[in-house]
Amino acid sequence: MKQLREDFSSVKEKLEKGEELMLIYRSQPLAKITSLMEEPFGKKAKTKKKAKKKDYSKIIEKLAGGFELGDWTPEQLNKLLDKRYEKMLSGF
């Protein structure tokens, strides 16, 4: 009871964490105090944050593809760029 009167913030903090508190009056247990929230604050906040994390796989799947260009190796792709330089320098 004394703690409730003098240090309500710590009582509130404990309740938010999901702790169950016993109210003692004149050295006798008088009542139980429990949070009305289904889940403790921290846990709920974490769950909410997790749900917010976006899965980008569908977006990338949608943006990928669209062309059937054959199977070009990285070396072949590089050669296309090299050819361009060779063409540019062929006048020298």
Partner 1 sequence: MKKCYLDSNILINLKNTKSSFHKKTKELLVSLVNNSYNLCISSLVLDEFLHQFQHILKFQKKRDILKKVLYALESVMSLPKLKLVNPPLSKKNHLKIVGYMKDYNLLPRDAYHFLIMKENKIGYFATFDKDFREVFREGKINDVFSVI
Work out the widest C-alpha separation in the chain, in whole angstroms: 102
Q: How far is the CB of 62 from partner 1 (least distance, A)?
A: 8
Site for partner 1 in 9-68 (CB under 8 A): 55-57, 59-61, 63-68
Residue partners of 38: CB distance under 8 A and separation at least 6: 44
Q: Which is nearer to partner 1, 38 or 71 (CB)?
A: 71
> Which stretch of DSSP H or E encloses residue 31?
strand 28-33
Find the binder of partner 1 among 81, 89, 90, 92 (CB under 8 A).
81
d(CA 37, CA 14): 13
Q: Could you list the residues that contact partner 1 (CB under 8 A)?
A: 55-57, 59-61, 63-72, 74-75, 77-78, 80-81, 84-85
